[in-house]
Structures are given as C-alpha cells and as structure tokens.
Amino acid sequence: MPPTPIDEHLAAFALAQRKALEGVVAVIRKTLPAATETISYGMPTFKVDEVAVIGLD
C-alpha cells in the first residue's frame, strides 16, 4: 500500500515522536476504517462524511 498523506507528514518527525504518532494513527485507522485521511490546515486530519473528526497537531 502506498504511503498516505498522513504517513508522508509523519516521516518528517524525529523517530521517537514519529513512532508515538504512528501508534495513535494506527488506533484511529482501526477505529474509523471508513475515514478519509488528508492534510488540512497543515495537520494530519481524519474526515468522516467530509467532516473533520480528528486532527493531529
């Protein structure tokens, strides 16, 4: 599976931060499998029915 915009965004973080954020993202992906992943206002964002429900800053 190719990297998502969120995966690409997280790649810029230091290793320890990236690993922690990847864990959070994994939980979100499991909990909201139908969510759309995007970068909105410079933040990784998960949308459901075009409504932003989670943003990571």
pTM check: above 0.95: no
**9-31, pLDDT tens digit by residue?**
999 999 999 999 999 999 999 99
CA–CA distance, 50 with 57 (Å, rounded to integer): 19
Q: What is the DSSP letter of 47?
A: E
Q: How far is Cα 38 from Cα 52, in angstroms, rounded to an integer?
A: 10
Q: Tell me which residue range forms the domain holding 9.
A: 5-55
Domain count, the chain: 1
Tens of pLDDT, residues 25-52:
999 999 999 999 999 999 999 999 999 9
